[in-house]
Amino acid sequence: MNLKFQAHIKSAVTLITALSLIFPLTGCGIIIINDVSSNNVSNTDVEKNFFESDSAFTPTEYTPYEGKDSGTDMAEHYLSELPSRDYDGAVFFITTPSSDYIDPDNTDNNVSRMVYERNRLIEETYDIVLLSSVKNGDTILREMEQAVASDSYYSDLLMLPLYMTGQFRISKVLMNLRSLPFIDLDAPYFNSESVNMTSAGYETYGAAGSATLDPSAFSAVFFNRDITEKTGLEMPYSSVTEKKWTWDTFFEYTQAVSALNETGGEPLNTLAVQSNASRLADLVFVSCGNTYVNAAKKNIPKIAFTQDTAAYSTETAHRLLTDPNAVIDASSDAVNGFANGDSFFLIDYLSVMPQLSDASANWGVLPLPTENEGDEFRTLVANTELIFSVPVNHTNAEMASVILSALNAGSYGYLYDEYVAYNMAFVLRDNDSANMLDLILDSAAFDFALAFGNSYPDVAAGTYGLIREAARNNDLKERFFDAESAAMNSLIQDFKLD
């Protein structure tokens, strides 16, 4: 049975009452509740707790890491620009497939503690209670459709897997974010590519920012420093800082490792890929400066690449996939093999770093290479990552807008700097890798095709489907015209401006 909540629930409402209200809405969903026992703390004290807390980690065994800007100053600044509101103890519900990064149920690492304190700050600043309900994307969609059909409340804010954006669009259950009061989607705490790539015509369905994009979800290149010395080549860090870290440079290292194999001894893998095996061609394509589909407000989405502009990236991906000394297999044990010194390069998510903290291999981390010297580093975000959306049947558009903005503004700069500092002290092997992490976390790229392709097959086939097949078979020329034409026709018909 669906219940409709009033926008303002008095602060005297106990957590037990809140649970009794939300259970009929969530079915078998798991409810994760924040501790709000410290609601007698003043706003000023909470800001001090968050921005000046002793829980902010300070490395002691390494050169202290300093971000490009002061993360706390940026967060304070952007929070101060948001409307001042008192929502009188209202319960604010976030429905999400995972609360690990938005509302963690434990604080066993530094970033989780910072997220916890950010949430307390927002609760105190706006006099709300944040609650999260954990359900998978399919359940959220089904229950949203039922709630909209019965004109019932469902949630104040949604976090959705990027690949389901098209399905939610078709069901017409998402609000146009640009119609929300006070929201500034051009603010730096929202990722501009995520906003554009979830837009179609006059509608924008989602946005990502520091509050949604877990730093551990970025892909990166890990390399073996000891093997680098054996090849006689320089450490690749300087190539990165000088913006000479290209795929051609990458292949200079793999060729040197192959040459080492010819001298005898235990053979080494030039490259290992496991978690990113199915999307390796996507990562290469985007790291080379390409985009599958260009999209923005008031525009019909259109194919953004040509046969010529995609040629280098597909040839590069094909070269990686056919390297006889590479192991690119989703069922392989690539991370452990790299940790044991069996592979020179590993392309994986930053989430594997704790697993590498006690590795026998002496390793470092780098961003994905570029096509040309001087190009910006770009790391394609996986289509399973989450974005913020607002359901059409919310109770208070202003509150949804303000809290959505506050969650991202209060995370901007600060959380990523803490992530780097923590890993620098406990995980990374050298200071150069900390600088590399900073570059990686500043390189997030999104794509319309990954947001909508799952629901529009011709778009998928003419974008990432085309590039993946061409990378495997090295036949972009033969495939391009038919696939691209079908994708373009779908974009024109399905996303035309009304």
3-state secondary structure (DSSP) of residue 213: coil
d(C-alpha 387, C-alpha 390), whole Å: 10
3-state secondary structure (DSSP) of residue 32: strand
All residues at 6 or more sequence positions from 322 whose CB lies less than 8 Å from its CB, including other chains: none
Q: Say if strands 293-294 and 219-224 run parallel, antiparallel, or are unpaired.
A: unpaired
| Residues belonging to the chain | 498
Q: What does the pLDDT read at residue 58?
A: 41
Query: Is 379:159 a contact under the CB 8 Å cutoff?
Result: no
3-state secondary structure (DSSP) of residue 200: strand
All residues at 6 or more sequence positions from 11 whose CB lies less than 8 Å from its CB, including other chains: 39, 88, 89, 127, 129
DSSP string, 103-131: S-S---SHHHHHHHHHHHHHHHHHTEEEE
Q: What does the pLDDT read at residue 264?
A: 82
Nearest to 87 by CA among 123, 120, 116, 50: 123
Q: What does the pLDDT read at residue 75?
A: 84
H helix intervals, 348-396: 353-356
Type of residue at 278: S
205 vs 9, 183, 475, CA distance in Å?
28, 13, 35
Query: Is 141:167 a contact under the CB 8 Å cutoff?
Result: yes
Strand order in the sheet with 30-33: 30-33, 128-134, 90-96, 157-161, 386-389
Q: What does the pLDDT read at residue 25?
A: 40
Q: What does the pLDDT read at residue 498?
A: 63
Nearest to 199 by CA among 185, 209, 189: 185
Q: What does the pLDDT read at residue 71?
A: 54
d(C-alpha 493, C-alpha 263), whole Å: 59
Nearest to 405 by CA among 140, 193, 211: 211
d(C-alpha 381, C-alpha 443), whole Å: 9
d(C-alpha 121, C-alpha 130), whole Å: 11
Type of residue at 138: D
d(C-alpha 112, C-alpha 117), whole Å: 9
Render each residue's pLDDT in the chain as its tens digit; 498 residues. Answer: 333 333 333 333 333 333 343 333 433 333 333 333 333 333 333 333 333 344 333 444 444 444 445 556 788 889 999 999 999 999 999 999 999 999 998 777 788 999 999 999 999 999 999 999 999 999 999 999 999 999 999 999 999 999 999 999 999 999 999 999 999 999 999 999 999 999 988 899 999 999 999 999 999 999 999 999 999 999 999 999 999 999 999 999 999 999 999 998 789 999 999 999 999 999 999 999 999 999 987 788 999 999 999 999 999 999 999 999 999 999 999 999 999 999 999 999 999 999 999 999 999 999 999 999 999 999 999 999 999 999 999 889 999 999 999 999 999 988 999 999 999 999 999 999 999 999 999 999 999 999 999 999 999 999 999 999 999 999 999 999 999 999 999 999 999 876
Q: What does the pLDDT read at residue 22?
A: 39
Q: How many CB atoms lie within 10 A of CB 447?
A: 28
Task: Please state the three-class secondary structure of 324-342 as a single string.
Answer: CCEEECCCCCHHHHHHCCC
Nearest to 137 by CA among 184, 190, 174: 174
Q: What does the pLDDT read at residue 304?
A: 97
Q: Give the residue carrying structure tokens 């509608």.
A: 203
Nearest to 44 by CA among 130, 124, 128: 124
d(C-alpha 221, C-alpha 228), whole Å: 14
All residues at 6 or more sequence positions from 73 whose CB lies less than 8 Å from its CB, including other chains: none
Q: What does the pLDDT read at residue 296?
A: 85
Query: Is 445:383 a contact under the CB 8 Å cutoff?
Result: no
d(C-alpha 313, C-alpha 370), whole Å: 10
d(C-alpha 361, C-alpha 94), whole Å: 42
Query: Is 273:328 a contact under the CB 8 Å cutoff?
Result: yes
Query: Is 382:444 a contact under the CB 8 Å cutoff?
Result: no
CA 421, 160, 419 angle in degrees (round to 5)? 0
List, in order of start, the domains of the chain with CATH numbers. Answer: 15-215+383-444 (3.40.190.10), 219-380+455-494 (3.40.190.10)
Residue 435 tokens, joined: 């600088």
